[in-house]
Amino acid sequence: MYDVIIIGNGPAGISAGLYLKRANKNILIVSKMNSALKKAEKIENYYGVESITGDELYNLGIIQAKRLNIPMEEDEVINIGYNESNKKFLVTTVNNEFEASNVILATGTNRMTPKIKGIKDFEGKGVSYCAICDAFFYKNKNVAVIGNGNYAIHEAKILKPIANSVTILTNGKRMVENRDSSDFDIDESNIREFRGNNVIEEVEFENNNKRKIDGVFIAIGTASSVDLAKKIGALVKNNNIVIDENMQTTVKGMYACGDCTGGLLQVNKAVYEGAKAALSIIKNK
């Protein structure tokens, strides 16, 4: 049981971790190790640092956190729930489950929408980004999940007891090895387009095969902050998590910081917001 679970170990997550740990909070950072920072060839606009590669700056943050003995789990978060009985958040990863009084979302902006003809046109008309939010609308219908990883399987598992059929479409990618993947019909063909009249009706593949579907759930790569926030009912606007002046989302006890809150997508803003989220939690106790 933790005081705070931080999801993400980029500048926002590590910054929050440093403040919380120094305030003696029992914390855990859970993260996949693919911060946007690692893609930056050179950072030359961060205070006091003349020039550094993104990878170097990222590693300095990790080293600093490790020196403070901040526990870090390398894992992928696939769901956040709330246990009403003990008033704790339940963070589900591919390999584990953790409970905490507060959660900080610091997972950057990695939401991926596949560039497939028709997807954008059918958003809200058969295309969904959240199985737990929208599965109910597809009772006894035929649905597909686009993705090839653990997150896609997680979404498919939510849909399975409700929908008539669930097919995972990997769009040309190999499905990851997962103990639950054999429970689903998996089609690895490349997708050409989604079609329909007003609502989505069918998917056509590049091999000219077609499949009738009533809904498509996008679950590519890893669940982003926005995906995770939506699952627990936090407000999201224009693909950014809505926060108040204390970095708290519309769900009490859940905070967000860094790229996932929108605005300036820069290291200095991520570091500031991480610190602010941490200090808000410290102040509330």
Ligand X SMILES: Cc1cc2nc3c(=O)[nH]c(=O)nc-3n(C[C@H](O)[C@H](O)[C@H](O)COP(=O)(O)OP(=O)(O)OC[C@H]3O[C@@H](n4cnc5c(N)ncnc54)[C@H](O)[C@@H]3O)c2cc1C
Give residues in contact with ligand X (CB under 6 A).
Answer: 7-13, 30-37, 39-40, 43, 45-46, 76-77, 106-108, 110, 222-224, 258-259, 265-268, 270
How far apart are CB 112 and ligand X at their closest, in Å? 11
User: Residue 110 or residue 148: which is nearer to ligand X going by CB?
Assistant: 110
Distances (CA, A) of 245 to 17, 104, 242: 19, 15, 10
User: Residue 78 or residue 135: which is nearer to ligand X going by CB?
Assistant: 78
Q: How far is C-alpha 263 from the geometric centre of its chain's CA atoms?
A: 18
User: Residue 21 or residue 122: which is nearer to ligand X going by CB?
Assistant: 21
How far apart are CB 53 and ligand X at their closest, in Å? 10
Find the helix packing angle between 54-67 and 11-22, rounded to 10°.
20
Distances (CA, A) of 92 to 5, 98, 182, 243, 266: 11, 7, 21, 23, 28
Distances (CA, A) of 138 to 58, 94, 132, 134, 228: 42, 25, 11, 7, 21
Task: Of 7, 198, 227, 221, give the one whose Cα is nearest residue 133.
Answer: 227
User: Residue 65 or residue 191: which is nearer to ligand X going by CB?
Assistant: 65
How far apart are CB 190 and ligand X at their closest, in Å? 26
User: Residue 156 or residue 270: which is nearer to ligand X going by CB?
Assistant: 270
Residue 171 makes CB contacts below 8 A (sequence gap 6+) with: 114, 116, 146, 148, 189, 190, 191
- Whether the CB-CB separation of 150 and 94 falls below 8 Å is answered with yes
User: Residue 213 or residue 226: which is nearer to ligand X going by CB?
Assistant: 226
Q: Which residues pair with 80 in a beta bridge?
A: 91
How far apart are CB 10 and ligand X at their closest, in Å? 2
How far apart are CB 116 and ligand X at their closest, in Å? 22
How far apart are CB 108 and ligand X at their closest, in Å? 2
